[in-house]
Amino acid sequence: MNISTPLFRVFMADSVEMAVKKTLYSGYVAEGENVLRLTQEVSKFIGNPNTVLLNSCTSALTVAFRLAGVGPGTEVISTPLTCVASNVPILELGGIPVWADSDPETGMVDPNDIKHLISERTKAICVLHKEGDPARLDEILSIARKHNIKVVEDCAHAFGAKYKGIKIGNHGDYACFSFQAIKHMTTGDGGALACKSKEDFARAKRLKWFGVDRQNQEGGNPWLRDVREWGYKFNMNDIAAAIGLENIKHTERLNECFHRNGVLFSKLLKNVPGVTLVKRDLKNDYSIFWAYCIIVENRQSLIKKLAREGIASGQIHPRNDVYSMFSMSKRHLPNVDAFSERELSLPCGWWVTEDEVGRICDIIRRGW
């Protein structure tokens, strides 16, 4: 079938080609001036100066979990309804994911279930802002503070989203963003970690590059100073940053398109038989609808009907807990079961016109 409206599309500014070419022949393509400049732009965009750029969101999550104290035998309360990139870093550090059941109305972690899962081994709660919708942060942060554990926000879908008027990246202890190809802003591949505390920020800068802070103001060869703890090769390079510097100029405008389409879907799909809208607080929060998620009956039939009309749709991230690598975390999750079997994502980005949103809704209203 010919798909005319894809679920995702890469945005690349016209100016990227020249910027990348200039970088390629500059004599410096590793982490340098471009990364420094993009770090400043990303920090300004989200409003958090304690921001570090990395080569992926997975790397950002790995560093965040390590900063939170995740290690062998520790636990992280997380959701299986996400990309495996959210949970594999827990295993990599020797930790164990403890699955929280979902809020049946949002598909995100249910704060009421989190309360019953905290143990003396719990080091962090991992919160996904699913498909650009902000999670119930106030409730989750309140639980975390009561038990003195860290909150790691997976913001892969939420670069520019706002929770109660404040941009995501300023709430939990760590906020991890993705600049992978099909995200709201891309560097080709890349990520960012925004920290609440300056101490974590300073350590994150070291951990991303073997334990050495390359921007240390002491000057001289950094390898001649003591390296106190081992780190990773997680830094972004100047080629990726050159792409990001051009694309971030357009991010606010593109996010407005995602948001406009999502609000229109919410209006046009209200009270449609067989469709349940995901609960969203559109009065207080600003969702950037990486895709538009709905809950539907007989999902596969609707996917096929939309495909016949040239429209891509589907479940973006199948549940993680079915994979053997997470067998140690098996738990009965009735709300995850129900949501996972019925969630469907529709294309909602800058490439989708308001007329196309209307057409998709008309097709759904006619039944499947």
Q: What is the pLDDT of residues 289-339, one digit of tens each?
A: 999 999 999 999 999 999 999 999 999 999 999 999 999 999 999 999 999
CATH code at 336? Answer: 3.90.1150.10
1 falls in which pLDDT band (50, 70, 90)? low
Same domain as 240, residue 137: yes
**Nearest C-alpha neighbor of 177 from the set 256, 260, 63:** 63
Distance (Å, whole) CA 188 – CA 111? 34
CB 173 within 8 Å of CB 195: yes
What domain range is 191 assigned to? 16-250
Give the pLDDT confidence of 21-49 residue by residue, as tens digits. 999 999 999 999 999 999 999 999 999 99
217 falls in which pLDDT band (50, 70, 90)? low
Name 152's bridge partners.
126, 174
Residue 311's pLDDT is 98
Same domain as 238, residue 296: no
The reported pTM is 0.97
Give the pLDDT confidence of 2-13 residue by residue, as tens digits. 899 999 999 999
CB 193 within 8 Å of CB 63: yes
Residue 63's pLDDT is 98
CATH code at 182? Answer: 3.40.640.10
**Nearest C-alpha neighbor of 165 from the set 286, 290, 255, 279:** 286
Last residue of a domain, one of 227, 250, 273: 250
Tell me, yes or no, whether 156 lies in a domain.
yes
Last residue of a domain, one of 191, 223, 250: 250
Same domain as 208, residue 285: no
